[in-house]
Amino acid sequence: LVHIGINCENQEEATRSAKLVSALFGLEFKPGNKSTFSGADFEFMHSPYYGKNGHIAIETNFIKRAEAYLKSKGIKFIEESKKLDAKGNYAAVYIDGDVGGLAVHLLQKK
């Protein structure tokens, strides 16, 4: 588990929430373009994204292997959610479906 993402209605709500969590737990406040982080553990989305409430991010050493393994177990992925890093390497993908209102996505460990 690398972080929990929380869907917010807008950037203002995300900023307010991230600042509160940062103050409560002594975490670094890190604003970004699409989301704002409190430390590395909490991501506040500037607008709703996958998952009713947000997402769980799972980091893996080998994202292609993790995806192939989960597909062999019958898990489906949202193909249009695949992201590449600046070098064109496979970096992230969301699983099709959610867990208690939270989407799940795999992230390639850097």
pLDDT for 22-74, tens place per residue? Answer: 999 999 999 999 999 999 999 999 999 999 999 999 999 999 999 999 999 99
In whole angstroms, what is the distance from residue 106 CA to residue 67 CA? 8
pLDDT for 86-104, tens place per residue? Answer: 999 999 999 999 999 999 9
User: What are the CA-CA distances from residue 74 to residues 71, 90, 93 (Å)?
Assistant: 5, 21, 16
